[in-house]
Structure 1
């Protein structure tokens, strides 16, 4: 691995890598206003403030991220600069901004929060004191579905609005129809194809940052994938055609009664800013993923009532919450910074619950 990393000649990070469009701020404001309507609609329906995306959690996990020893210089960056361990909290979720049956297919999400990460911050917010956490927000598609904020406003917001409004049976019928269309050879755009993807056990899924992140002196994307045999065995499985309302939660709870889980955390370094552009998150990066850490979750109860309430209502996840050395880059990430904060503020305000960043893993209930 050392030879591979040293031969990559990764692009050095510099401020001019980002090139925002002149009207990006106005576009982001329009998206926030539209998503606020989705927040308010969900609050009226559920009488509780929810995230405007990934509202339904399936598990809240306690684990440990251990940085690999003897990493070469290009990989020993930021919080991965030294071989040490960090306690982590993980929240596993599904894309919709409302609470849906696990019969529905779509994007799965992973919020990973490492604790005890000290240093200069990417986003300074008094609400986040004591500022010792590093968030990674990952999803199950390798490239993001929309290039930038402009594309999200045009193509992503109609999907987000539909996910907020339509009942499960209508979305299910739509996904079945899309599946038939694809079977006869008609290609689907990426933002629709995710809704006909196999409904797989989430613990066996691979997750990606889907957009570039500063990696100390360099730029990278991240991947999180199953490492232990019990997890790899889940990768090719699918849920029953008519699963239970909370099938994913039940499967995860059953898994952790008898098993621990190990994942590999890898980075993909940017080696060419022209073919691996910072401002277009849909482009495939043609460089290898290189392991930098292992994440292990021991046997536990991943969804007790207290843990669910803490993970869903107290915590928030934002990839901007962390080190300046891991500052998110590009239009989609600039959009996420503002959108995630607006959604978190709305949710905590209407629920009358203070947002809190943990300073110790003991704060996560059993």
Structure 2
């Protein structure tokens, strides 16, 4: 299959052999699923309820809409973005930890967007929903290249983070920050990304930029995706520090306060793969150079003023809703080892959480199913 050459550059074409799993990938994924299940079970014993093994703590459940932009270039007008249309959405803001922790701890934040009313061939043959999930985080690249790397080093981190107390994590974060400033900075070095996420200052979650981190199919092409603030009120929050005086639920409180007074708009953008050598599918740690392939808008997401964290919404978001990037169109199929790992992990976590909480596994078919 030939590449597509446009005025903007050369875009690699998707084909079914684009992914190259390691021979031992299934064994690595099985090991990871077992360890994360033990974390699920431990969390249930401690909290007397099932939690997600990632993105456990929510900061708001939002009702909104996604408008596909008109007059997109052919390489952008793919899958659900092929035709201008407005879709209802439900979104969940979160922290990526698998434990319920104070919002004063530093770390990565997450966003799950569920688009409702998306019809077409599904990524999974047994998926009968009409939704499209996009899951993004505030870290641009994933911290581990593939399932093998995650099974060797990531699991140690996951095991520790499920067990360390908030004071211990805070002390460790402060020690890393001091070491970075007083030792590494003097010799022109920096902490590796796997540790740097624990010293990055907390910023207002509504001003954060969210990234898919790992690649996705985009119809005939491959992309990474991001969501950036668009309206003036959320652009003003870009990089705005969260005050140290905030409480354990500072993120939820800031989201509630904002949407009591303001609407919000964000731009959904995609970055097309132009070179499989420098923009690999199987190594999620590699940055895709935005100078070779800039991010380009495909849709606008809008949230009206609302109460994003009523007790009913919180229960619906934490116990009933699930987000899985594999739930959606085959045209937006997740790609690469980390995404194949997420498929198994997200399925196992969701099934366990719904089972122990005796909660229905509801996939909304209409926005009215989201509590007010």
Normalised-by-shorter TM-score class: over 0.9
2:284 aligned partner: 281
Q: CA deviation at 1:159?
A: 1.2
Q: Paired residue for 2:10?
A: 9
Gaps of at least 5 residues in structure 1 are none
1:172 aligned residue (161, 170, 173): 170
Displacement of 1:158 in angstroms is: 1.1
Q: Does 1:215 align with 2:213?
A: no
- Deviating more after overlay: 250-259 vs 116-125: 116-125
Relative distance call for 1:317 and 1:6 in structure 2 (3 A) is farther
Corresponding position of 2:246:
243
1:1-366 map, 5 Å? 6-125=7-126, 129=128, 131-186=129-184, 187-286=190-289, 287-366=293-372
Counterpart CA distance in 2 for 1:110 and 1:169 is 26
The number of equivalent residue pairs is 360
The CA deviation at 1:160 is: 1.0
- Aligned-residue CA RMSD (Å): 1.1
Instruction: Tell me the CA shift for residue 124 of structure 1.
Output: 3.0
Off by >4 Å, runs of 4+ in structure 1: none
Q: Is the 8 A contact 2:61 2:314 kept in 1?
A: yes
- Distance across 1 between alignment mates of 2:13 and 2:76: 13
What is the DSSP-based 3-state SS (H/G/I as helix, E as strand, rest coil) of the residue aligned with 2:110? strand
Q: In structure 1, what is the Cα distance between the partners aligned to 2:362 and 2:61? A: 16
Alpha-carbon displacement from aligned partner over 1:306-347 (angstroms, at most 9, x marks no partner)? 111111111110100000000000000000000000000010
SS of 2:10's partner is: coil
Q: Given the two structures, how large is their TM-score scaled by the length of structure 2?
A: 0.95
Q: 1:292, 1:189 → 2: CA distance?
A: 33
2:217 is paired with a residue of what secondary structure? strand
Work out whether residues 147 and 332 of structure 1, in 8 Å CA contact, stay in contact via their aligned partners in 2.
yes
Secondary structure at the residue paired with 2:59? Answer: strand
- Contact 1:135/1:320 (<8 A) preserved: yes
- Give the TM-score, by structure 1 length: 0.97
> Deviation of residue 185 (structure 1)?
4.4
Question: In 2, are the aligned partners of 1:6 and 1:74 still within 8 Å (CA)?
Answer: no
Gaps of 5+ in 2: 185-189
Q: Which protein has the bigger helix share?
A: 1
For residues 205 and 183 of structure 2, what CA distance do their matches in structure 1 show?
A: 28
